[in-house]
């Protein structure tokens, strides 16, 4: 950490320690949480209410934050708590609460007053502020946590709730975070989706009242909507301009985010676990800790915000974010359930021939009484299917080793087919209403992960695979069903089911990671049905969508990239779509490359093209995975989509360009402005990934200054016979 940063942390520490530890506040206590560019400023006033007095680009003088309120002449606040840092309900609050409780004596009022606060330094560049709040009447306490990542301007916010009342307290609502933003207007960019339609953006101006984004699906919770969103202040932010907040809840189950444009025209954001059907009974002295709500803010537009978030994710959140990944060949779309040892032996050879690192065996390898020959049976019976794989997985792992490739395997351990031995043996392990008909999602049901025995079983699936096959190198963890008929035979309190399910899942993942800390795992949920930063602490990558049609994929990957770094995005080349293999491969290269095609059916040129592209990818992957990403040309606004990945030193990068509009005469008529380069450096642009027999129309020997490329631009020359153009950019010395 450099001196400047040390002094900033020290300043934050001093500022926040003033007035600390349980004294009655004679003067308001200002608690600024500052990151490199931003500040969230809290204030404990004389009456010990804690509120948010500023959020945005930080000021150079801390003393001025207390003046902010005075320059706003907005309508009155009857309650004095529209801007509460964590809004309680049942006392004087009139708006959406962050927390609602029923006390042990049945009373439903809550007030939360400042007690103390402390700041601890977690690591270089990472600080944790905690603020203790207490009810003056009831022995009920909430601690608010704000973890700030200085360099990336990222914040994680959560709360811990506990009490010492004479009996249990019921938490009716228990948000992770409560934010408060001031601006002339607010624009919410949210996402919706479905199978094969992940991450469809919708932007709208927020009007007075409450807009709620949520999920009630239990598992595969993001199928219809993920928790990530953007809020633009005053006007919709663009890639390079505007004030924009990105947020999402680090939780793999039901979430809820309320956006309330309050009577004063300010925006209150209240986010956390969805309290739908989930009142939580909290025993005395038990702590209920909410998951973190994650956010970052930029006054330089969406591109800056996403680069910061991607950097944060690689540095602090995703498993092995600074590490490497394996390229692979998957058999799902080439065989579906129809394979045997002979077919797989050929695919293992194809894996080597293609030049990727690993072969991934997908669904269909298990179950005997009810063989997994389609998606109607067998889930839960994780023994190799004897007729397909008489010699078991271990012989395949060995064969892969002989062929010089690694071996990975698909599992869907949280699920059960009604036609399975597991269901016959343990009907009580299944989530279902005892008095109602079963209702299926993809012909299957969800196991009750609230039950420790089920947790052991799920953990055992993975553990057994590794014990039997220590050389197993990769897991694809799928999750295809949502929770219908939510009822657990194990739980006494049914309203804990949605929460305890996710906790059970994390317990299993924790055990897996304790014993197998590094093995790469793909987070899949029938596509992108479960993509969040809580799960990504245990996974190295995710499966964005079953939709691998490459044109569609440009849009899907584009939207995910606002929130997740390329190293986490598993992109496979498949036979979806009519585009040539070059287009499909180039698109998949924008993240973590994989293939799901019949290699033996490729023409000589197609195979040669793929082999060359994989070599190029291997050379470029450090930049694609760890570099900074700049979106240059938006497929929704232009005929050409263009994205740059640039190394930190600004000396090397790669630009992916695609024609996304096939109307007559479409193409990159105008140059595309490059971003992020060093204006004083000189660069060459060389087209790579050329299909055999074709030549580039880009002169790779021409030298351009960074200034030229950023002011005038470059032209990838996309057109109907050049629909996909990959350009390597390098400093010319
Ligand atoms: C859904 C996944 O998204 C697919 O990639 C594939 O693994 C199937 N499940 C297998 O059933």
pLDDT, tens digit, for every residue of 608-648? 999 999 999 999 999 999 999 999 999 999 999 999 999 99
Q: What pLDDT does residue 384 have?
A: 98
Q: What pLDDT was estimated at residue 163?
A: 98
pLDDT in the model for residue 27:
87
* CA 653 – ligand 1 centroid, Å: 33
pLDDT at 296 over 60: yes
Under the banding of pLDDT at 50, 70 and 90, the label for residue 61 is: confident
CA distance 644 to 623: 10
* Nearest alpha carbon, ligand 1 atom 4: 526
Q: What is the pLDDT of residue 363?
A: 98
Q: Do domains 328-627 and 630-731 have the same CATH topology?
A: no
Q: What is the pLDDT of residues 651-662, one digit of tens each?
A: 999 999 999 999
pLDDT mean over 313-340: 98
Nearest CA to ligand 1 atom 2: 526
What is the phi/psi pair of residue 416, to 5°? -145, 140
Give the Å distance between the CA of 704 and the centre of ligand 1. 45
Q: What is the token pair recorded at 17?
A: 């320690």
- Going through 290-411 in order, the beta strands assigned E by DSSP cover 293-298, 328-330, 358-361, 406-411
Q: What is d(CA 511, CA 710) in angstroms, rounded to the nearest whole number?
A: 49
3-class state of residue 399 by DSSP: helix
Question: Token pair of 419, please?
Answer: 């036609």
Helix (H, G, I), strand (E, B) or coil at 264: coil
Using DSSP's 3-state secondary structure scheme, residue 702 falls into coil
State the average pLDDT over residues 184-193: 98
3-state secondary structure of 676: coil
* Alpha carbon of 478 to ligand 1 centroid (Å): 7
Name 274's Cβ contacts closer than 8 Å, sequence gap at least 6: 214, 215, 216, 253, 254, 255, 256, 498
Is 9 a residue whose pLDDT tops 50? no
Reference 531, options 114, 198, 99; nearest CA is 198
Q: Could you give the percent of the chain with pLDDT greater than 90?
A: 95
* Amino acid 30: pLDDT: 96
pLDDT at residue 55, as a whole number: 98
Contacts of 233 (CB under 8 A, 6+ apart): 56, 181, 183, 184, 185, 186, 242, 243, 244, 245
The DSSP H or E segment spanning 220 is none
Average pLDDT on 525-553 reads 98
pLDDT score, position 262 = 98
pLDDT higher than threshold 70 for residue 185: yes
pLDDT at 714: 98
- Quote the mean pLDDT of the chain: 96
Residues in contact with ligand 1 by the CB-under-6-Å rule are 332, 362-363, 410, 478, 480, 524, 526-527, 543, 546
Mutate to test the pocket of ligand 1, among 223, 365, 408, 478 (most ligand atoms within 8 A of CB): 478
* Burial (Cβ within 10 Å: 0-12, 13-18, ≥19) of residue 296: buried
Question: What is the position in ligand 1's atom list of the atom closest to the CA of 546?
Answer: 3
Give the residue among 432, 421, 437 at the shortest CA–CA distance from 379.
Answer: 421
Nearest residue to 500 (alpha-carbon basis) of 434, 431, 412: 431
| 548-575: pLDDT as tens digits | 999 999 999 999 999 999 999 999 999 9
On the question of pLDDT at 441 being above 50, the answer is yes
Q: Which fold has domain 29-317?
A: Beta-galactosidase; Chain A, domain 5 (2.70.98)
Q: Is the pLDDT of residue 2 over 60?
A: no
Query: Taking the mean position of all CA atoms in its chain, how far away is CA 90?
Result: 34
Q: Which residues make Cβ contacts (< 8 Å) with residue 234, sequence separation at least 6?
A: 183, 184, 185, 242, 243
Rounded to whole angstroms, the Cα distance separating 362 from 388 reads 13
Query: Which superfamily does 328-627 belong to?
Result: Aldolase class I (3.20.20.70)
Domain with residues 630-731, CATH architecture: Sandwich (2.60)
- What's the rounded Cα separation, in Å, for the pair 549 and 85? 45
Q: How confident is the model over 106-120, as pLDDT tens digits?
A: 999 999 999 999 999
pLDDT, tens only, 132-143:
999 999 999 999
β strands within 324-426, DSSP E: 328-330, 358-361, 406-411, 415-416
In the predicted model, is pLDDT for residue 4 greater than 50? Answer: no
Residue 93 has pLDDT above 90, yes or no: yes
Overall average pLDDT of the 322-342 stretch: 98
pLDDT of 341 higher than 90: yes
Local confidence band at 454 (pLDDT 50, 70, 90 cut-offs): very high
Domains of the chain by residue range:
29-317, 328-627, 630-731
Mean pLDDT of 441-448: 98
Burial grade of 649 (CB within 10 A; 0-12, 13-18, 19 or more): exposed
pTM of the model: 0.96
**For residue 7, what pLDDT is reported?**
41
Give the whole-angstrom CA distance, residue 458 versus residue 177.
32
Contact 202, 267 (CB under 8 A): no
Per-residue confidence (pLDDT) for residue 544, from 0 to 100: 98
Maximal C-alpha separation, the chain? 81
Distance CA 50, CA 31 (A): 10
pLDDT tier for residue 130 given thresholds of 50, 70 and 90:
very high
| Nearest Cα residue to atom 10 of ligand 1 | 363
47 and 64 Cβ atoms separated by less than 8 Å: no
Closest atom of ligand 1 to 476 CA is: 7
Q: Is the pLDDT of residue 13 over 80?
A: no
CA of 305 to the centre of ligand 1 (A): 32
**What pLDDT sits at residue 535?**
98
Instruction: Report the separation in Å between the CA atom of 481 and the middle of ligand 1, taken as the mean of its atom positions.
Output: 11
Dist. CA 683–CA 664, nearest whole Å: 33
Q: How far is it, in rounded angstroms, from Cα 556 to Cα 552?
A: 6
């Amino acid at each position: 950490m450099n001196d400047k940063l040390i002094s900033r942390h020290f300043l934050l520490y001093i500022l926040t320690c003033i007035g600390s530890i349980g004294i009655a506040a004679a003067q308001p206590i200002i608690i600024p949480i500052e990151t490199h560019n931003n500040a969230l400023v809290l204030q404990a006033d004389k009456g010990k209410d804690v509120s948010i007095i500023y959020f945005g680009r930080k000021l150079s003088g801390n003393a001025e934050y207390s003046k902010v309120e005075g320059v706003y002449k907005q309508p009155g606040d009857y309650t004095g708590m529209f801007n509460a840092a964590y809004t309680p309900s049942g006392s004087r609050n009139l708006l959406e609460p962050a927390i609602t409780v029923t006390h042990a004596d049945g009373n439903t009022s809550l007030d939360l007053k400042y007690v103390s606060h402390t700041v601890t330094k977690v690591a270089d560049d990472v600080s944790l502020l905690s603020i203790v709040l207490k009810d003056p009447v009831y022995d009920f306490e909430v601690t608010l946590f704000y973890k700030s990542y200085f360099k990336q301007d990222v914040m994680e916010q959560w709360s811990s709730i506990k009490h010492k009342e004479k009996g249990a307290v019921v938490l009716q609502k228990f948000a992770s975070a409560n934010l408060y933003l001031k601006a002339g207007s607010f624009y919410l960019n949210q996402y919706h989706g479905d199978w094969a339609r992940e991450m469809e953006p919708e932007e709208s101006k927020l009007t007075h009242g409450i807009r709620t984004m949520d999920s009630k699906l239990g598992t595969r919770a993001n199928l219809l909507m993920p928790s990530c969103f953007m809020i633009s202040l005053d006007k919709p932010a663009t890639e390079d301009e505007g004030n924009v907040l990105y947020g999402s809840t680090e939780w793999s189950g039901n979430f809820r985010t309320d956006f309330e444009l309050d009577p004063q025209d300010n925006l209150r954001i209240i986010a956390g676990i969805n309290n739908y059907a989930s009142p939580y009974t909290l025993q005395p002295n038990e702590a209920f800790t909410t998951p973190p709500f994650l956010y970052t803010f930029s006054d330089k537009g969406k591109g800056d915000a996403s680069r910061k978030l991607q950097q944060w994710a690689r540095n602090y959140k995703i498993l092995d974010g600074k590490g490497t990944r394996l390229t692979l060949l998957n058999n799902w779309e080439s065989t579906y359930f129809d394979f045997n040892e002979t077919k797989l032996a050929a695919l293992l050879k194809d894996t080597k021939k293609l030049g990727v690192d690993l072969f991934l065996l997908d669904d269909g390898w298990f179950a005997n009484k009810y063989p997994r020959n389609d998606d109607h049976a067998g889930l839960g019976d994780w023994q190799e299917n004897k007729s397909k794989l008489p010699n078991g997985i271990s012989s395949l792992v060995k064969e892969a080793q002989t062929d010089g490739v690694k071996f990975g395997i698909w599992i869907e351990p949280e699920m059960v087919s009604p036609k399975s031995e597991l269901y016959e043996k343990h009907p009580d392990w299944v989530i279902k209403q005892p008095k109602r008909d079963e209702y299926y999602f993809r012909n299957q049901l969800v196991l009750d992960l609230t039950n420790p025995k089920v947790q052991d079983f799920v953990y055992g699936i993975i553990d057994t695979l590794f014990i039997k096959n220590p050389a197993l190198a990769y897991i694809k963890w799928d999750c295809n069903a949502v929770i219908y008929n939510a009822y657990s035979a194990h739980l006494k309190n049914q309203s804990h089911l949605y929460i305890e399910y996710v906790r059970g899942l994390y317990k299993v993942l924790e055990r897996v990671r304790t014993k197998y800390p590094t093995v790469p795992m793909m987070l899949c949920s029938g596509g992108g049905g479960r993509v969040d930063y809580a799960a990504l602490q245990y996974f190295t990558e995710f499966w964005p969508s079953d939709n691998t049609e490459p044109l569609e994929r440009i849009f899907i990957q584009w939207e995910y990239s606002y929130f997740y770094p390329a190293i986490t995005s598993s992109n496979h080349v498949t036979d979806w779509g009519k585009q040539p293999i070059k287009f499909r491969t180039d698109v998949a290269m924008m993240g973590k490359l994989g293939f799901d095609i019949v290699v033996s059916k490729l023409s000589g040129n197609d195979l040669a093209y793929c082999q060359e592209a994989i070599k190029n990818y291997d050379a470029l992957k450090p930049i694609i995975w760890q570099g900074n990403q700049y979106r240059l040309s938006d497929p929704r606004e232009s005929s050409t989509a263009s994205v740059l990945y640039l190394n930190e030193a600004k000396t090397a990068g790669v630009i992916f360009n695609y024609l996304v509009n096939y109307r007559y005469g479409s193409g990159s008529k105008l140059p595309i402005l490059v971003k992020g380069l060093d204006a004083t450096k000189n660069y060459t642009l060389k087209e790579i990934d050329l299909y055999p027999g074709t030549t580039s129309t880009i002169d790779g020997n021409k030298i351009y200054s960074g200034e030229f490329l950023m002011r005038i631009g470059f032209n990838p020359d996309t057109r109907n016979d050049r629909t996909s153009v990959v350009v390597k950019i390098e400093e010319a010395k």
